[in-house]
């Protein structure tokens, strides 16, 4: 993926007073649901829908949407890495993560990557529309729980209970851990992430060290139970 940092704003297509929203999710039904919700607003339109990180990055560069809604689990590639690539290419991008993953573990990571909002798929549909309007106004959109956690960290009052072993993992390590938990082999993970099997094996070794696990089989079981518990 290209990572040029200079932003050039092309002319918008269609009505200039419509907010153009890009939807990136690996489930067609979910994409269509978001698109219907957005198109029902008088001043918004779902300008494009993508299911993989490479396709989404390419279309983002062509379309330059006003807001991008991105899920973390995609058909190909990583949602967090996609956010990083978009921000590297367009530092002013407005990105909202729409995910079913545990926000306590993933929301901060997404914000660090450059997202301006994190909305759970389990929340009311109106929350998505509110989030779009909030980030367009320049505000962050996170739950009260995450907002309070960030405030505790900023004031040095974070409690030990706010962290666990998985919090110490890097974004890529956490991603490999999740994919192991979903039953993918080293070669399958390598292909999915466009990395070499040797690199994935290195990440697996780091996971065993950080999680204090001796064997790859134990790591796979730990990852499986973690995924089953809802990540």
Asked if residue 174 and residue 124 are part of one domain, the reply reads no
**Domain contains 157:** no
For 48-63, the pLDDT digits (tens) are 999 999 999 999 999 9
The CATH number for 108's domain is 3.40.50.2300
CATH number for the domain that contains residue 180: 1.10.10.10
Residue in this structure with the two tokens 């809802």, named with its chain if needed: 230
Question: pLDDT tens, 139-188?
Answer: 999 877 777 776 766 666 555 444 567 888 999 999 999 999 999 999 99
Q: Which structural domain, as residue segments, surrounds residue 215?
A: 164-228
The answer on 170 and 147 residing in a single domain is no
User: Could you tell me if residue 5 is inside a domain?
Assistant: no
Give the global pTM.
Answer: 0.78
* 10 burial type by CB count under 10 A (0-12 exposed, 13-18 middle, 19+ buried): exposed
What totals of helices (H) and strands (E) does the chain contain, helices first? 10, 5
Overall number of domains in the chain: 2
Same structural domain for residues 26 and 103?
Answer: yes
């Amino acid at each position: 993926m290209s990572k040029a940092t200079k932003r050039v704003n092309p002319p918008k297509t269609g009505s200039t007073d419509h907010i153009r929203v890009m939807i990136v999710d690996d489930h067609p039904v979910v994409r269509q649901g978001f698109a219907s919700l957005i198109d029902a607003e008088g001043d918004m339109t779902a300008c494009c829908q993508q299911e993989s990180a490479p396709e989404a990055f390419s279309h983002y560069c062509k379309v330059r949407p006003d807001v991008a809604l991105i899920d973390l689990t995609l058909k190909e590639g990583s949602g967090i890495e996609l956010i990083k690539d978009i921000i590297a290419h367009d530092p002013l991008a407005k990105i909202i993560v729409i995910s079913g993953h545990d926000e306590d573990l993933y929301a901060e990571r997404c914000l660090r990557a450059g997202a301006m909002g994190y909305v759970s798929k389990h929340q009311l549909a109106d929350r998505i529309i509110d989030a779009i309007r909030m980030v367009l106004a320049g505000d962050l959109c996170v739950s009260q729980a995450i907002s309070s956690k960030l405030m505790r960290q900023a004031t040095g009052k974070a409690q030990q209970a706010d962290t666990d072993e998985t919090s110490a993992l890097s974004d890529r390590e956490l991603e490999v851990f999740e994919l192991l938990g979903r039953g993918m082999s080293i070669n399958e993970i390598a292909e999915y992430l466009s990395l070499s099997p040797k690199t994935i094996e290195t990440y697996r070794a780091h996971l065993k060290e950080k999680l204090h696990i001796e064997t790859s089989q134990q790591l796979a079981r730990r990852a499986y139970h973690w995924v089953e518990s809802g990540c």
